[in-house]
C-alpha cells in the first residue's frame, strides 16, 4: 500500500507541474535564428486567420496585391503560409517563413514572370541582389537582400535558437499571441518619415534599451507593450510621449461616432522605475466598429 501511495503522490506531483510558458517559434525556424540577433518579430498566420477580426473584416475581401503574388509564385499567403519570423541584428534582417513551398511549385511561375533563378551552396535563389527568396526546404523559405541571405545560409546549422536575452523575454509573451516582438538592444529604425504623424515613434524606440510586445485578437484586441529605458527620466519621457500619441488618436475620432473614443480609453500606460508598459484591452464590439470606420475610409 505504501508503494501504491508513493506512485500516486508522484503522479499527482507530475500533473501539478505547470506547462512551459511563453511564446514558441516553430522548430524549423528556431534553429535558423543567428546568435547575434537583437530583434525578433513573429506572426502566427494560421491562428490569425481564425480570429474574429480577420473573419469579420478581411476573409471575404479581395486584395489585388495578394492575388498578384499568388499568381506569380503559386503561393497564396492565406493558405500556404503558417508562420512568419523576422530576425535582425540591427544591420541585416531576414524574413523567415514556414509554409508550403517547393521548387516544383515556385520555379515555373517565377521564371515565367522573368524572375532570375540562381544557386548558392546548392540552394535555389529567386530574385536580384536587392531582394531575393531562398528555399531552405520544401516548408521553409527566407526573403531579404542577397548578402543577408548568404550570411543566413553560411550560418545555418550553428544556431541553438534565440539568444538568451530574447529567449527570456519570450517567456513573458503568451503562447497564444498571434503577433509578438522581442528586442534586446541595438540600433533599430522604424520605417516612418520623420515629419509624419508616426515619426516620433523612432525617437521613442531610441529611448528604449530593450522590450517586448504582443497582440492577441481571439477576443477583441488584447496586448501588452513593455520597454526598459536607460533611466527613470527616460522612462517618464516615453510614458508621456505614449500618452500624447493616445490623446492625438482620441482627438481623431469623428464627432458623429464619439463611442469610438473607448478604443483609446482601453489603453493604459504605466511607469515603474525604468520600465514603461502599455496595456491594451479593447472589446470585440469596439474593434469591429473601429475597423469598420477605417476600412470605409
How far is the CA of 83 from the CAs of 113, 118, 170, in angstroms? 26, 26, 16
Total Cβ atoms within 10 A of residue 157: 8
73-103 as b/e, with b when 16 or more CB fall inside 10 Å? bbbebeebbbbbbbbbbeebbbbbbbbebee
Q: Where does the pLDDT of residue 134 fall: very low under 50, low under 70, confident under 90, or very high at 90 and above?
A: confident
Q: What is the CATH number of domain 23-159?
A: 3.40.1000
Task: Evaluate if residue 43 carries a pLDDT over 90.
Answer: yes
Q: Where does the pLDDT of residue 63 fall: very low under 50, low under 70, confident under 90, or very high at 90 and above?
A: confident
* Percent of the residues in the chain that have a pLDDT greater than 70, as a whole number: 78
Q: Mean pLDDT in the chain?
A: 82
* Domain(s) of CATH 3.40.1000: residues in the chain: 23-159
CB 276 within 8 A of CB 239: yes
CB 211 within 8 A of CB 173: no
Reduced to 3 states (helix: H, G, I; strand: E, B; else coil), residue 217 is coil
Number of residues that make up the chain: 297
Answer with the residue of higher pLDDT: 65 or 283. Answer: 283
The predicted model gives 196-221 an average pLDDT of 80
Task: Evaluate if residue 72 carries a pLDDT over 80.
Answer: no
Amino acid at each position: 500500500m505504501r508503494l501504491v501511495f508513493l506512485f500516486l503522490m508522484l503522479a499527482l506531483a507530475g500533473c501539478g507541474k505547470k506547462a512551459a510558458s511563453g511564446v514558441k517559434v516553430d522548430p524549423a525556424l528556431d534553429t535558423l535564428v543567428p546568435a547575434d540577433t537583437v530583434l525578433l518579430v513573429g506572426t502566427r498566420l494560421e491562428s490569425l486567420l481564425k480570429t474574429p477580426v480577420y473573419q469579420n473584416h478581411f476573409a471575404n475581401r479581395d486584395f489585388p496585391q495578394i492575388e498578384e503574388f499568388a499568381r506569380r509564385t503559386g503561393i497564396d499567403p492565406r493558405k500556404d503560409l503558417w508562420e512568419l519570423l523576422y530576425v535582425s541584428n540591427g544591420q541585416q534582417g531576414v524574413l523567415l517563413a514556414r509554409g508550403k513551398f517547393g521548387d516544383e511549385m515556385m520555379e515555373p511561375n517565377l521564371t515565367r514572370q522573368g524572375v532570375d533563378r540562381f544557386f548558392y551552396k546548392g540552394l535555389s535563389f529567386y530574385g536580384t541582389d536587392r531582394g531575393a527568396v531562398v528555399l531552405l526546404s520544401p516548408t521553409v523559405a527566407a526573403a531579404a537582400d542577397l548578402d543577408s541571405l548568404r550570411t543566413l545560409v553560411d550560418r545555418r546549422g550553428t544556431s541553438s535558437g534565440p539568444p538568451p536575452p530574447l529567449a527570456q523575454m519570450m517567456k513573458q509573451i503568451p503562447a497564444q499571441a498571434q503577433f509578438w516582438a522581442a528586442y534586446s538592444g541595438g540600433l533599430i529604425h522604424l520605417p516612418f518619415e520623420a515629419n509624419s504623424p508616426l515619426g516620433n515613434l523612432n525617437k521613442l524606440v531610441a529611448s528604449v534599451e530593450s522590450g517586448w510586445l504582443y497582440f492577441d485578437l481571439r477576443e477583441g484586441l488584447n496586448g501588452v507593450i513593455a520597454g526598459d529605458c536607460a533611466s527613470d527620466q527616460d522612462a517618464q519621457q516615453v510614458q508621456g510621449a505614449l500618452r500624447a500619441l493616445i490623446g492625438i488618436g482620441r482627438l481623431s475620432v469623428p464627432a458623429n461616432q464619439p463611442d469610438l473614443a473607448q478604443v483609446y480609453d482601453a489603453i493604459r500606460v504605466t511607469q515603474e522605475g525604468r520600465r514603461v508598459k502599455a496595456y491594451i484591452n479593447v472589446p470585440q464590439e469596439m474593434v469591429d466598429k473601429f475597423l469598420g470606420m477605417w476600412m470605409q475610409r
